[in-house]
Structure 1
Amino acid sequence: MDRWLWLQQGDLVTQATALLLLALSVVSWVVMAYKTWLLARTQRQVPLCLAAFWQATDVATARSRVEALDACGLVLPMVQALEAHRASSKTASGGSSAPLAQQGAASARLTRGLREALQAASEPLQWGQVLLATVATIAPFVGLLGTVWGIHHALSMLAGSQNIGIDQLAAPVGEALVMTAAGLAVAIPAVLGYNLLGRSASRIEADLEGFAHDVQAVFGAATEPAAAPRA
């Protein structure tokens, strides 16, 4: 086709720019498709896990229920942190010979465990966001580079011609401008995906943080050791 004649006749820089835009487009669409599936799955599972936890009669039962529902593994690490905290609270001596993780107040140990679980849960939710932001930022400039280089290449080819008319100049320049449109076509979906998927991930993270605060409020104070009686 004539519209691809400029790309076929382009040099290595022109073709490499087009291939780079194609690669950025494919990668960004794969990331957006995967994250859409992951976030849709977690948006169904997280509320079910939280409800199952609070409806359980004990922590062991809550863990078994959450483990059956939490296929993405976002809520279960916090329940495991609570289990580990309750187990360590019964056996930790609090002396100087105990590991650092077992020293200090019981509520502080629970806070540390919940914080680590939240950090682990945020990694799959935030995965791919940096890549989408990078594609959205650099794709227009890559397309502009392809346009500028394509125009330069077209003018170099026409430099030795005699009686250059506007019709001879318009075709290669207009075809080179396609690269700018291609850059925008790659960047705009990446921007939309970054914003929409980021909002969904932020809502899930807010639910998990609220659950962690509730667990800390309910179980942190309940497992504090009683003060030693004065002599």
Structure 2
Amino acid sequence: MQANPYGLESLWIQGDLITKGVTTILVVMSIASWYVIVTKALQLLSYRRASHAAGHAFWDTTNLTEGVATLGTNNPFSDIAHAGITAMRHHAAHKGHLHDQLLVSDWVTMSLRQAIDETSGKLQAGMAVLASVGSTAPFVGLLGTVWGIYHALVSIGTSGQASIDKVAGPVGEALIMTALGLAVAIPATFGYNALVRSNKSTIAKLNKFGFDLHALFITGARSCSTEIVGDNGAKIVAVRST
């Protein structure tokens, strides 16, 4: 079976240094973006399981030790719970040094906030790669497109005629470069948008869990919000403990 003279294999064999360089860059960008997409998706999937435990199983236990055990390990919800427990123990152990400077509520709040911020930083790791690939890959492909069109014009100029056999190869090279740039940029862009939405949802759940933990450590009960409609129709959010 005869190989396609205008396929990817022929493009690589017949291409010059710039063509091969552009193709290599696009392949590397594609591998990097897919690596980030897959690893972040698996990370968010494990966080989703942990968030379910933090919203249900944790609060169905009879004591804090059992509750922390339901969260598992190596997830932000477990890290936040341990951060709160450590903060409470540290404040109690150094009460004589800390009570005049910082209330236990403020100390726990800062510890929980620091744990949430660390998780937020981990969630953002790799997102810059997707943003960069999604915004630059089309232009990298465009460079290959312009170079292919240049080759087509050179072929026309050297041959003196614009026959199809003279321009088909370079024009095909240009179109392939355009397609490669889009094939790299589109998944990176969609992946970035999907991961941003998932990250926001995860951070919102972390903040909610941290707020409930703060109430548990300070008051001994989980806080729950209830909407009450006033006489003027306005909604008032009341916080109660359970």
Distance, in Å, in 1 between the alignment partners of 2:161 and 2:90 is 88
Matched, 1:214 2:212: yes
Unaligned runs of 5+ in 1: 223-231
Question: Could you say what secondary structure the match of 2:142 adopts?
Answer: helix
Distance, in Å, in 2 between the alignment partners of 1:165 and 1:153 is 14
2:29–2:133 Cα contact (<8 Å) kept: yes
Matched, 1:51 2:53: no
Q: 2:46 aligns with which of 33, 41, 44?
A: 41
Q: 1:202 aligns with which of 187, 200, 203?
A: 200
2:108–2:214 Cα contact (<8 Å) kept: yes
Distance, in Å, in 2 between the alignment partners of 1:102 and 1:149 is 71
- AA aligned to 1:83 is I
* Other-structure match for 2:224: none
Matched, 1:24 2:29: yes
Which range moved further: 114-123 or 4-13?
Answer: 4-13
- Normalised to the residue count of structure 2, the TM-score between the two structures is 0.79
1:82-231 to 2 correspondence within 5 Å?
A: 82-95=84-97, 103-220=101-218
Distance, in Å, in 2 between the alignment partners of 1:103 and 1:13 is 64
Q: How many pairs does the alignment contain?
A: 215
- Normalised to the residue count of structure 1, the TM-score between the two structures is 0.82
- AA aligned to 1:120 is E
Distance, in Å, in 2 between the alignment partners of 1:14 and 1:103 is 65
Which range moved further: 30-39 or 150-159?
Answer: 150-159
Task: Provide Cα deviations, 1:44-95, integer angstroms capped at 9, x if missing partner.
Answer: 22211342332233333323333xx2x4321112111221222133232454
- AA aligned to 1:184 is L
* Other-structure match for 2:79: 77
Between 1 and 2, higher relative CO (CA 8 Å, sep ≥ 6) is seen in 1
Task: Provide Cα deviations, 1:108-156, integer angstroms capped at 9, x if missing partner.
Answer: 1111100111122223332321111111000000000111122223433
Task: Provide Cα deviations, 1:159-179, integer angstroms capped at 9, x if missing partner.
Answer: 322334355224422331210
Q: 1:12 aligns with which of 17, 22, 26?
A: 17
Question: Could you say what secondary structure the match of 2:6 adopts?
Answer: helix
Quickly say closer, same or farther: Cα 1:49–1:211, change in 2 above 3 A: closer
- Alpha-carbon deviation of 1:102? 9.3
Quickly say closer, same or farther: Cα 1:153–1:192, change in 2 above 3 A: same
Distance, in Å, in 1 between the alignment partners of 2:76 and 2:15 is 50
- AA aligned to 1:81 is A
Distance, in Å, in 1 between the alignment partners of 2:155 and 2:11 is 11
Q: 1:2 aligns with which of 2, 5, 8?
A: 5
- AA aligned to 2:47 is T
* Other-structure match for 2:223: none
More strand by share: 2
Question: Could you say what secondary structure the match of 2:123 adopts?
Answer: helix
- AA aligned to 2:172 is G
Unaligned runs of 5+ in 2: 221-242
Identical amino acids, percent of aligned pairs:
38
